[in-house]
Amino acid sequence: MINRRTFGKAVGLGGAAAAASLSGLPGSASADTSGAHTGFARLKHVRAGVLNIGYAEAGPAHGPVVLLLHGWPYDIHSYVDVAPLLADQGYRVLVPYLRGHGSTTFLSRRTPRTAEQSAVALDIIAFMDALKIPEALLAGFDWGSRTADVIAALWPERVTSLVSTSGYLITDVTAQAEPAAAAVEHNWWYQWYFASERGKRAMENEEDRIALCRYVWTLTSPNWHFSDAVFARTAEAFKNPDYAAIVLFNYRWRIGLVEGEPRYDRYEKRLWAQPSIGVPTVTLDAALDPFTPPGDGSGYRGHFTGPYLHRTIADVGHNLPQEAPAAFARAVVDADHLRWSRPRRAF
């Protein structure tokens, strides 16, 4: 198990040893290596809350726990090269499918297929409870970043450290009613498409939604030349029978087109106030991601009140952990390191 003393020996105060063992520099995609692994050894399942959650696991059973949370339209394979790197560092790595994805299923047909940000976060809390994990380092991108941010804000006692790609992503639904700049609205074309009947029909047709998801990959990761096999591996997760309902609800809910379940109202009201996050945090921006805000993280810096590092990763797009796995793994190690000592320099 990594503790304060052994962690310091492993990564050094400046993280140089970790950088060497992770085979890449944190700011350079060209120094990174992706695509080394074709899949996880096997999937496990656990009943947690309203779900039977499918997940991958790597690393020693008694190592410090790292939860890696995927986004849309992606799945656990965004971390197929990250997980082994962290397992080699002594971490117990868990990669769950979010609700509506892959082998994660609802336990009851009567459970509403909603996807409020707090509902997805509570799924992960239930997952931790089911596996008897009192606290973990949370790391994610896209929906995964938002989920990790929500847990860190509302249940900080469950989070040792945080890696949040794209910074602070907690949604204020009331603020979403205001228009954004035209270029920003353009990036969210699929959100508006999903608000229409045509978009709904596309998502409910398996062939159409898989084609749409592949197109989104090309737009949000313009420098990532993924193979047909890599996409097909992830596209299996889009065949979940609840996939369309979950995705449509999430994007419609964000812009106020559908009401959430009353059971989540008290959490959402707290989140709409944009609570600060005090756990040790590393934020990452992907330089080629169209959703990366200008200012090198300055626009969301004030939301993070604890020990903090920020990095912008060059030459990669939205699916940062799969495009630059060593850089993402390095961020996880450094986020853990923030718990023990303040780094000598920020990147």
Q: Is the confidence at residue 29, as pLDDT, over 80? A: no
Q: Is the confidence at residue 7, as pLDDT, over 60? A: no
Q: How far apart are CA 76 and CA 58, in angstroms?
A: 13
Q: How far apart are CA 38 and CA 17, in angstroms?
A: 27
Q: Is the confidence at residue 345, as pLDDT, over 50? A: no
pLDDT number for residue 177: 87
| 177-230 residue pLDDT tens | 899 999 999 999 999 999 999 999 999 999 999 999 999 999 999 999 999 999
| 250-267 residue pLDDT tens | 999 999 999 999 999 999
Angle formed by the axes of helices 143-154 and 265-272, nearest 10°: 90
| 63-102 residue pLDDT tens | 999 999 999 999 999 999 999 999 999 999 999 999 999 9
pLDDT number for residue 112: 97
Token duo for residue 196 = 């229409």
Q: Do the Cβ atoms of 149 and 124 come closer than 8 Å?
A: no
Q: Do the Cβ atoms of 35 and 62 come closer than 8 Å?
A: no
Q: Is the confidence at residue 24, as pLDDT, over 60? A: no
Mean pLDDT across the chain? 90
Mean pLDDT of 281-303: 96
pLDDT category, 38, cuts 50, 70, 90? confident
| pTM, two decimal places | 0.90
Closest CA to 234 of 114, 74, 33: 74
pLDDT number for residue 9: 36
